[in-house]
Structure formats: C-alpha cells, structure tokens
C-alpha cells in the first residue's frame, strides 16, 4: 500500500512523529500522535481522570476493547499563529495526553484536534486521514500524498546548498 508513514510501535506516546505531505502544489508538514499503548494492548491507558474532567470515557478499561492505540494525524501548524509549527523538528511536547504548542502554551486534544486551552481555544487543528494496517500507519487522505520523513528543510534555512546544481 502506498503512503506508509511509520511503524505503529515507533510512534512515541509522549511526543509526535513529523513527516512531509503534499497537496499536489505545496509541501506541508504533518504530525502523527498516538493515544495509548502501542504494545500488547493490555488495557493500560494513561489515566485521563486525574484532572477531574467529566470522565465520560474514563470507565473500566477492562470493558473497553481498545487493544490498538488510537492514531491521529494533523497538519503541523498551530491555530494561534498558523505559520508556527507545533513540532519544531524534534517532537512536540505533550502534557496529560494533549499536544502543546510551546510558543504560547496552547493545548490541543489529540483525538479531536480542538484547542482546549490557550490563545486559540475552541479552534481545531487540520486533520489528515490515516489508517493502521499490520502495525504500520498509512496516510489515506485523498487530499494529501506522503512525501517523506522529517521536516521541510528549505523554509528556514537560507544557507542550505542542497538545491545548488554543481
């Protein structure tokens, strides 16, 4: 299948995986996030109830057959200042299962993409469709095609000579 991004087990549970996509015209950056244990599915999911939120989904993990982790994918641009990248190239920070934009401290729910706290509260990250098959995450979004791993290397670095033809 085209569009293989990364092995599921290689997605950290406390940070993001950065890669490049194209919409046919422009290259953009995207990030993968996983909620939960990419391992053996023993039901151990980090407690979401610690913060006292409404706890709708907190219930009994024994009951909850979420053996596979939930993987989501977002364009790597904050909704406060949309030229700002959430993952600067070495993984975005996460706190209590939420993605954090380090610039001004916006928190994003990794399931819905909604900013739950910060200057863009209520705004949503742009989601890309991904699917998991045989332990590999694939980009399955009709609007975007996978380009490669890692960040776009030509947007901040004017000293790059990688495009210079000798």
Residues that bind ligand FES (CB under 6 A): 78, 80-81, 84, 101, 103-104, 106, 118-119
Q: Where in the chain does DSSP place strands (E)?
A: 4-7, 17-22, 27-35, 70-75, 94-95, 98-101, 106-109, 115-117, 127-128, 130-133, 136-139, 145-149
Cβ proximity to ligand FES, 43 vs 93, nearer residue: 93
CB of 114 to ligand FES, least distance (A): 14
Cβ proximity to ligand FES, 18 vs 45, nearer residue: 18
CB of 78 to ligand FES, least distance (A): 3
Cβ proximity to ligand FES, 39 vs 105, nearer residue: 105
Parallel, antiparallel or unpaired: strands 27-35 and 70-75:
antiparallel
CB of 76 to ligand FES, least distance (A): 11
CB of 67 to ligand FES, least distance (A): 34
Neighbours of 143 (CB within 10 A): 11
Q: Are 141 and 15 in contact (CB under 8 A)?
A: no
């Amino acid at each position: 299948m085209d569009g293989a991004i990364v092995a599921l087990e290689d997605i950290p549970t406390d940070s993001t995986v950065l890669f490049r996509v194209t919409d046919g015209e422009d290259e953009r950056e995207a990030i993968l996030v996983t909620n939960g244990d990419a391992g053996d599915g023993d039901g151990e999911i980090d407690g979401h109830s610690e913060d006292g939120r409404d706890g709708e989904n907190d219930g009994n993990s024994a009951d909850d057959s979420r053996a596979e982790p939930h993987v989501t994918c977002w364009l790597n641009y904050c909704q406060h200042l949309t030229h700002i990248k959430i993952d600067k190239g070495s993984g975005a920070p996460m706190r209590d299962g939420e993605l954090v934009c380090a610039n001004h401290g916006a928190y994003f729910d990794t399931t819905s993409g909604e900013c739950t706290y910060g200057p863009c509260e209520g705004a949503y990250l742009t989601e890309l469709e991904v699917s998991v098959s045989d332990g590999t995450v694939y980009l399955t979004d009709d609007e975007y095609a996978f380009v490669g791993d890692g960040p776009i290397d030509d947007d901040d670095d004017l000293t790059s000579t990688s495009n210079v033809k000798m």
